[in-house]
Amino acid sequence: MAADTHLDGMHSRRIDAGSIALNIREAGSGPLMLFFHGITANSVVFTPLMARLADRFTTIAVDQRGHGHSDKPESGYDADSYARDIADLIRALDRGPAILVGHSLGSRNAVTAAAHHPDLVRSVVAIDFTPYIETEALDALEARVNAGAQVFDRPEDVKAYLTARYPNLPAAAIKIRAESGFHAVDAGLVPLASPTAMAQTVTGLRSDLTGAYREVTRPVLIVRGADSKLVSADALAKTSRLRADLPVVVVPDADHYVNEMAPDTTFKAITNFIDA
């Protein structure tokens, strides 16, 4: 295990989760709450949300496989592999069952983990990823992901690229992504996320998720940004018909990146769900 470090008042370390070493950031005390980011991102994007929850929970954000400072194997980027990492991590932490909060890719992985390992999961907050996402939306996502595999000369170039890619994100969220998601190589600055892993992961996002949603028995809260271009209103409606028992929160004035655009509203949705 690597030496511990401290970032933004949060404790960061790598932990052996069996078949993979995962980098985690943690703060707070209480019941275990795990956070799983979207594709190409990393654990640091959850810092504002974790700060609001750390007084009640042991909050741990995870660099998922292929991302951030976690291991980046050559293969294993399907939903089952990501979900197995979640289960192995909960066992390694020995603090479960855990509340899982996932955004996008992390949402898919959290629901899959809850469906396959209900004994390890208390509940799931699934942010802006559901079954029935249209092919056109996934095509656009794949193009954006593949376009990110480039070299930047300066930090200013990284920020300019991210600002163009995420036009609705607040400047503070862009700053977090720019400062946490890239590292220096001889040629310049490149993403921490492995291009090979991202290509496999974005292909895997097209896999059928209806089985996991149909089978999951733990409580699941579905959160959608009202302006999301990935999860349409129609995709959300079909998901609700599949599982009419799952509560839904639609966050106004937010797109796909709900937790980064509206951390206060996301915090309230999570605590209302947990306390209900």
Structural domain spans, the chain: 5-133+208-275
What's the pLDDT score for residue 4? 40
Q: Determine the angle formed by the axes of helices 195-204 and 135-147, rounding to 10 degrees.
A: 180
| Residue with token string 């078949």 | 19
Which tokens go with 138?
Answer: 């996934």
**Over 50: is that where the pLDDT of 3 sits?**
no
Whose CA is closest to 118, among 17, 216, 245, 18? 216
What's the pLDDT score for residue 9? 64
**Over 90: is that where the pLDDT of 6 sits?**
no
Strand 121-127 and strand 220-225: the pairing is parallel
- For domain 5-133+208-275, which CATH number applies: 1.10.3720.10, 1.10.287.1080, 3.40.50.1820, 3.30.70.2080? 3.40.50.1820
Whose CA is closest to 88, among 111, 68, 116, 66? 116
% of the chain residues with pLDDT over 90 = 93
Give yes or no: 104 in active site: yes
Give yes or no: 63 in active site: no
**Over 50: is that where the pLDDT of 103 sits?**
yes
> What 8-state DSSP symbol labels residue 129?
-
- More confident position, 8 or 81: 81
Is 169:41 a contact under the CB 8 Å cutoff? no
- Report the predicted TM-score, pTM, of the whole model to 2 decimal places: 0.95
pLDDT digits (tens, 9 = 90+) for 161-177: 999 999 999 999 999 99
Give yes or no: 228 in active site: no
The mean per-residue pLDDT over the stretch 257-271 comes to 97
Catalytic residue chosen out of the listed positions 63, 85, 88, 128: 128
* Per-residue pLDDT band at 1 (split at 50, 70, 90): very low
What's the pLDDT score for residue 8? 59
What's the pLDDT score for residue 272? 98
Catalytic residue chosen out of the listed positions 43, 70, 104, 123: 104
Contacts with 153 (C-beta within 8 Å, 6 or more apart), sequence order: 188, 189
